[in-house]
Amino acid sequence: MTEAVFRETAAEPRTQAVPLAHLSLELGHLYMEDFEAGPERLRRHFAQVVHWAEAVRGSTAAATGKRPRISTCFLIDDYFTRFSTPRELVPQLLEEAERAGLSIDYLARESGCAVADGAQVAEAVAGRLVESPPPGAYGARPPAGQTGWLANGERSPVARTPQAMKKAIPWQAPRETAARQHSVFLDVELWSERPGGGKLWSCPFLAAVWQLARLGLLRHEGQAVLTPRPHEGPFPDDWDEMPPLLQLQERAAPFAAYRTCSVLPNRFMPVEHAVRVVLDQTEVDPGALQQVAARSAGEGAAVPASVADRISYVFYAGQ
């Protein structure tokens, strides 16, 4: 006999929808040392970015068969280090972008990928990690939620002193779970312990949170987080006084999009490889996934089932 289960409608968390563009184009993800090097460093960066950005726009238009909705964004590291103030730095950033013929629609603080408007964003994403056990795994290693490390395969076993009458375990190579003939094994540090207690989130993990936000898939208790606020008045003197995500252009396309593309110096390649490992093992909010799938299909712009495959990059040499 099957028993009916009744639930209060109000008890079911509702997934808030967000507006979506076709593409979120990241024009930079630089650290305070890049800004500290002066406007010449920014000038060289945007001089590289502008040509790739034009190519990405053209490719997106060809893929959609229409005039696509494309928004641009820029991420500033105010999480690991603090340099200067928004009042001094942001106008310099916008001036150099404009000099190269680029317009930044949205400006984000990396600390907002950890905590945004009181929501523990990074902690919530960490709670959705679902490790992919490699073939033959027997659970000898603690889960990522305890160790703070996430791998894309099977690690080498830890060498131990053999007990009496037992042979030592021979060395074994690590193995990537989805290897093609040969492995590209990666073990990602998600966080470390702060000296005074608490977690210091790693750059790859915060970058994975950043990608989820740009893809419109980041929720906290059903509510959208890292939502843009319009820019009003002068920029503040303290980073904590600036919203986590600032909308600079009033008529910009939506911040979140079906797909993302980031134009970055090639030193970011290891970080972004780690981002894919994290996203491949993150259980994304199902309501958000359904919303994006339905709306993209309705526009004839269906997205890959894999969240990591919705992300693309242009890496340039230098910097």
User: Could you report the per-residue pLDDT of 276-311, keeping only the tens digit for each?
Assistant: 999 999 999 999 999 999 999 999 998 999 999 999
- The C-alpha atoms of residue 175 and residue 200 are separated, in whole angstroms, by 28
- The C-alpha atoms of residue 104 and residue 98 are separated, in whole angstroms, by 8
* pLDDT top residue among 98 and 36: 98
pTM above 0.85, yes or no: yes
Residue 241 placed within a domain: yes
Instruction: Say if residue 33 is exposed, middle or buried (CB neighbours under 10 Å; 0-12, 13-18, 19+).
Output: exposed
* pLDDT interval class at 136 (50, 70, 90): low
Average pLDDT, the chain: 89
Nearest in space to 129 (alpha carbons), one of 152, 157, 156: 152
pLDDT at 33: 84
For 154, phi and psi rounded to 5 degrees?
A: -100, 125
**Residue type for 82, please?**
R
Residue 32 pLDDT more than 90?
no
Sign of the torsion angle spanned by Cα atoms 221, 222, 225, 229? negative
- The C-alpha atoms of residue 88 and residue 79 are separated, in whole angstroms, by 18
* pLDDT interval class at 13 (50, 70, 90): low
**3-class SS shares of the chain: helix, strand, coil, % to 5:** 35, 20, 45
pLDDT at 318: 72
* pLDDT top residue among 48 and 7: 48
* pLDDT interval class at 9 (50, 70, 90): very low
pLDDT at 5: 46
Which two tokens mark 10? Answer: 């109000």
The number of distinct structural domains making up the chain is 1
Residue 162 pLDDT more than 70?
no
86: domain range? Answer: 15-118+207-267+283-316
pLDDT at 174: 85
What tens digit of pLDDT does each residue of 226-262 get?
Answer: 999 999 989 999 999 999 999 999 999 999 999 999 9
Which two tokens mark 51? Answer: 């040509």
* pLDDT interval class at 2 (50, 70, 90): very low
Nearest in space to 301 (alpha carbons), one of 266, 270, 265, 257: 257
Residue 80 placed within a domain: yes
Residue 198 placed within a domain: no
Q: Which residues of 115-148 are buried (b: 16+ CB within 10 A; e: fewer)?
A: bbeebebbebbbeebeeeebeeeeeebeebeeeb
* pLDDT interval class at 161 (50, 70, 90): low
pLDDT at 160: 57
* pLDDT interval class at 133 (50, 70, 90): low
Residue 109 placed within a domain: yes
- The C-alpha atoms of residue 208 and residue 313 are separated, in whole angstroms, by 14
pLDDT at 24: 98
Residue 200 placed within a domain: no
Residue 306 placed within a domain: yes
- The C-alpha atoms of residue 200 and residue 289 are separated, in whole angstroms, by 28
What tens digit of pLDDT does each residue of 62-80 get?
Answer: 998 889 999 999 999 999 9
Residue 3 placed within a domain: no
What tens digit of pLDDT does each residue of 65-118 get?
Answer: 889 999 999 999 999 988 889 999 999 999 999 999 999 999 999 999 999 988
Residue 128 placed within a domain: no
What tens digit of pLDDT does each residue of 176-191 get?
Answer: 887 788 888 999 999 9
